[in-house]
Chain A
Amino acid sequence: MADVDVIAVLQEAIAGGGPLWLQVLLRVAGAFGMALVPLVSVVFLIWESRKVIARMQDRLGPTNAGTPAGPWAIFQTVADAIKILTKELIIPEGADKVVFIIAPVLVVAVAIAMWAVIPLGPPETGLQVVDLEIGAFYVVAIGSLAPFSMIMAGWSSRNKYADVGAFRAVSQIIGYEIPQIMSLLVPVLLAGSMSLQEIVASQDVAYAISVPLVALVYFLAMLAEVGKLPFELAEADSELVAGYFTEYSGMMFGAFYLGEFINAFTGSVVFSLLFLGGWRGPFVDVVPWLGPVYLLVKAFLVFNVMNLFWASMPRLRIDQVLAFNWKALVPMGLVVFLVVALTDKLMWRAGVPEGWARAAGLLLSNVVVGGATALLLVWYKRRLMRRRAARFAPAAVPAKAEA
């Protein structure tokens, strides 16, 4: 009993040998550890975005005046969490109890489940639970469970605001899934793999540089998926109280709040992996543990761009949000996907070397598509203005020649 070399047994189990129960235990421990990453970082990120947004809006945000919340109130979120845990969980009369209770659990579970395939660092650090060959698709597939939790919450609350919120959320998320997948296909196409680890490894030139238009489409679609302003209609507080989680209180409300922030952060991390080169950066090949640092810094920057949107954008109307998706993002995503695929294939045929040369060609194709889109939008706006002028001021417009 005393002679067992614990470290040797552990090393063997990590390498894939040893007793089965130990391997299962290690896997579970690894998954648990990975699940802690979003949960812990969100505690900091909630404080950070509250503080940043407050400063943008000329407020102070949380402070430690009279409370033991630490310098600059960095433990504000911890205090909030403790407070929210002590609050009563109110289940409205007539609500569907079981569904009502499962919904917030599902929200957080879905948000965390995405982290199973996220590579925090290079393969040698082992900071990934499992490198699925369908990694990028897994993210989308798990993400498609999110509208369901919203429907459950909205429906079981037996509240009209919650219902409207759920409908809005679902129509928005289902719609924006299309440009999201369209633009997600481009990194998959260029990397030749759906594994997130390989997509990162293929980015000698970050895809945000070689295909910026695709990155833009993905970013906008992701913004709508996580429901940040200008797309937070699902919970539009001035119209719908709080949208699909109107009836929730205490920690059940906290779960929705937490899930939302985890989704925003996960979205930033996935965006960094797909378009910003993930854990790649200078000296990673020498010190692999720099990888997670680079990834988290990139994700943090993306998260703060979201904060910038949040603090400065007005909320759109639901018809505007949906029209923008179906009339602008989906066609643009389709066209840019076709153009990128064609350009890449032609360059491959012509024998253009991989790396900066290909990136330049792809960039050119993106600039062409982007320019064409801009011209189209200008033309559309002119036509719209002309028509409006014709409709509202018939006297000002000379009668057309009889046709």
Chain B
Amino acid sequence: MSLSVVLFLVFAVLAIGAAIRVVFCHRIFHGAMWLIVSFFGVAAIYMLLESPFLAGIQLFIYIGGVAVLTVIAIMVTKRVMAPNQRTLNDPVSAGIVALALFGVMVWMILSLPLPMAPTAPVIEGGLELLGAALVDPQGFLLPFEVVSVMMLVVLVASLYLGRER
């Protein structure tokens, strides 16, 4: 086994193990922390795939943004320090939804052809190509602008909701 395979296994186990811990945690705050460990494992796998930019995005958006937001939401929740609080109100329907989603995901993954070798070589300076493609009218300029307009709408809407009345 080469070093990269060993590292991949370590980080994959970390990501999946942490994700399982998220589900089985009794304290929701600990769940949020395991979620971060899981995100971190995914970032490390991006790094192994020689894509530091995606790894950075993973750290920045998921840990710096999503996880911090989650934790703040948890912090303002009542009685969150209680040792054995219920994390689910309706386990049966939650279980059904989760199982259905899991089934769809498994079906999709199994129906996709998974390449066992890299389909394309790693491009030197791929980051610059990505940047150029995002502002190229032939490339992804339109989706990029649509997303940014949507972000602006979200920003203005949140300001409207959050303003003092």
Binding site for B on A (CB under 8 A): 20, 24, 94, 96, 98-99, 132-134, 137-138, 140-142, 144-145, 147-148, 151-152, 155, 158, 163, 166-167, 170, 174, 177, 194
Contacts and interface: CB of A to CB of B under 8 A. Distances in A.
A99 B29 contact: yes
5 contacts: A99-B30, A142-B59, A144-B68, A145-B64, A148-B71
A110 to B, nearest CB: 11
**Top 5 A-B residue pairs of the complex, sorted by shortest distance between their CB atoms:** A144-B64, A141-B60, A141-B59, A141-B56, A137-B56
Interface string B118-135: 000000010100000000
B131 to A, nearest CB: 10
Given A99-B29, A137-B56, 18 more contacts: A20-B3, A24-B3, A96-B27, A98-B30, A99-B30, A99-B33, A132-B52, A133-B53, A134-B53, A134-B56, A144-B64, A144-B65, A151-B71, A151-B72, A167-B72, A170-B68, A170-B72, A174-B68
B75 interface: yes
B36 interface: yes
Chain B interface residue count: which class? 20 to 34
Given A132-B52, A151-B71, A144 B30 contact: no
A158 B33 CA distance: 17
Contacts of A145: 59, 63-64
Contacts of B52: 132-134, 138
Given A96-B29, A151-B75, A140 B68 contact: no
Contacts of A144: 59-60, 63-65, 68
Given A144-B60, A144-B63, A151 B68 contact: yes
B158 to A, nearest CB: 13
Q: Is the interface of A mostly helix, strand, loop or mixed?
A: helix
Contacts of B68: 144, 147-148, 151, 170, 174
B81 interface: yes
Contact of A94 (B3, B63, B71, B81): B81
A171 to B, nearest CB: 9
B60 A140 contact: yes
A141 B64 contact: yes
Interface of B: 3, 27, 29-30, 33, 36, 52-53, 56-57, 59-60, 63-65, 67-68, 71-72, 75, 81, 125, 127
Interface centre among B56, B59, B71 (most CB of A within 10 A): B56
Q: Is the interface of B mostly helix, strand, loop or mixed?
A: helix
B126 to A, nearest CB: 9
B13 to A, nearest CB: 20
A77 B31 CA distance: 38
A247 B56 CA distance: 33
Nearest to B75: A155
A55 to B, nearest CB: 38
Contacts of B36: 148
Given A134-B52, A174-B68, A155 B29 contact: yes
Contacts of B75: 151, 155, 163, 166-167
Nearest to A24: B3
Nearest to A133: B127
A166 to B, nearest CB: 8
Nearest to A144: B64
Contacts of A147: 64, 68
Contacts of B33: 99, 152
Contacts of B56: 134, 137-138, 141
Nearest to B33: A99
Nearest to B58: A141
Contacts of A163: 75
A194 B36 CA distance: 26
Contacts of A20: 3
A147 B60 CA distance: 12
Nearest to B54: A134
A144 B29 CA distance: 19
A307 to B, nearest CB: 28
Contacts of B72: 151, 167, 170
A158 B127 contact: no
Contacts of A99: 29-30, 33
B81 A158 contact: yes
A134 B81 contact: no
Contacts of A151: 68, 71-72, 75
A383 B36 CA distance: 47
Contacts of B57: 141
Nearest to A20: B3
Nearest to A140: B60
A194 B60 contact: no
A177 B60 CA distance: 11
B44 to A, nearest CB: 13
